[in-house]
Chain A
Amino acid sequence: MSTQTEKERLELLQGTLDLLILRTLIFGPQHGQGIARAIQESSGDELLVEHGALYPALQRLEQRGWVEPKWGTSENNRRARFYTLTRAGRKQLVSETAKWRRLAAAIGRVVGPEGGEG
């Protein structure tokens, strides 16, 4: 049942994963699995985050100093690596969000209003 739904989900555009991770972390420290699930849920189950791609992305954000990792314990008592948004990460999130809104609006204008095609 879950395979079926996952095939219909949208794949992420290149370069948008970083933005989504940073955005998710605004609500507090979270581990990788929690981030993946949170993106999926807050997108109304529309976005498919491949978990295998998530961790290299987290590693990249960590190297740029946008998130800070710390091993901790999850709510169901599992050991997990929690990521916290740093000050630089917050700044990055603001600029990435603005960029994304511009891009989405521009593409929306090109594609035209909903139901306009045909």
Chain B
Amino acid sequence: MFGRKRTPDDFCDEIQAHLQLEIDRFREQGMSEADARMAARRSFGNLTGAQERFYESGRWAWADTLGQNVRFGRRMLARNPGSSALAIAVLALGIGANPAIFSLLNAVLLRNLPVERPGELVLFGKGQWAGDMDDLPNRSWQLFSYPSYREFQRQNQVYSDVAAIDSILFTTHGRVGGGANLEKISAELVSGTYFQTLGVKPILERVLTDDDDSAPGAHPVAVANYVWWQRRNGPVASRLADDRPCGSHTRICCLHFQRPSQGHRNPLACGAPRWHSAARQSQMVALPAAGLGRDRLEGLFHCPSRCRIQRRAEH
């Protein structure tokens, strides 16, 4: 019975055959042709009803109905092209906006910062991320000078550590790995305590330490972003990152951030890419304090992580 479908025509034939047999029977009983035909129809009952019941028992009745509905819907849409277009546009916008809003909320509210203890981080000041201090004294204590960062560090009795990030983000150009062409590099200057404070560990070599942050210009080292490294050099395991000139006089000495695929509980696991996209910047190089000493600094850290992401996402 499966796959074999009886056509309505076949069913009709059967009923016609039935009527013919009945007519023959009545004729044998001595009825006239016309009377016999009438009697056969009468004893059959509702002919159309039988055919309809046959049709409805078919497996494809629903498909016919669906087709009718689709055709009807299309006709109605074509009749009012204006309102149809409006409805479709509203639906499209609504559907499109949902993932966009969700991905924003997800980055800003739901995910934690990919650092060791995101809940314990605090940001000094109002968390204003970028800017300078040309209009000193800074009106709202949002930025701090490098010496005041050092002062914080020295006097610190409350925090486990204090770190600083240059408040002016810059994109520069440099050669990496002895390549002939200058390439665009987004760099961020951070204090030597930056990685320890965040609790971020490298997958190769080492991150910066406070020892890299003593004299201006004396520590030409940088930490490369995992994603950038992979894009540029292939699998991380292939080469150590040592000895690659970057900018005018910086060496990339370590890769920080772990592979994104190493499990969720590890705060670093998805660290680099997540941080990266949330910040909408491509920090890949962190210069040591040599750079920091140059001029002004944003004071540091940290607000509860979320607010931090938020700030960064605004840029």
Identify the A interface with B (CB < 8 A).
2-3, 6, 31-34, 37, 50-53, 55-56, 59-60, 62-65, 74, 76, 78-81
Contact = CB atoms under 8 A, between A and B. Distances in A.
B1 A63 contact: yes
A65 B45 contact: no
B24 A55 contact: no
B43 A62 contact: no
Given A3-B42, A52-B49, A56-B53, A62 B17 contact: no
A56 B57 contact: yes
A55 B22 CA distance: 15
B45 A53 contact: yes
Interface of A is mostly: helix
Nearest to A77: B24
B102 to A, nearest CB: 48
20 contacts: A31-B18, A31-B21, A32-B17, A33-B18, A50-B44, A51-B45, A55-B14, A55-B18, A55-B54, A56-B50, A59-B11, A59-B54, A63-B57, A64-B1, A74-B21, A76-B24, A79-B13, A80-B17, A81-B13, A81-B17
B294 to A, nearest CB: 87
Nearest to A58: B14
A83 to B, nearest CB: 10
Contacts of B43: 2, 6, 51
Contacts of A62: 1, 6
Contacts of A80: 14, 17-18, 21
Interface string B1-28: 1000010000101110110111011000
B62 to A, nearest CB: 16
Contact of B44 (A2, A37, A51): A51
A81 B14 contact: yes
Contacts of A79: 13, 17
A56 to B, nearest CB: 4
Interface of B is mostly: helix
Interface in B35-74: 39, 42-47, 49-50, 53-54, 57
Contacts of B54: 55-56, 59
B11 to A, nearest CB: 7
B-side interface size class: 20 to 34
Contacts of B42: 3
Contacts of A81: 13-14, 17
Interface in B217-271: none
Given A55-B14, A59-B11, A33 B21 contact: yes
Contacts of A3: 42
Nearest to A56: B53
A33 B22 contact: yes
A37 B28 CA distance: 15
Contacts of B14: 32, 55, 80-81
B44 A78 contact: no
A59 B6 contact: yes
A79 B44 CA distance: 18
B45 A52 contact: yes
Contacts of B1: 62-65
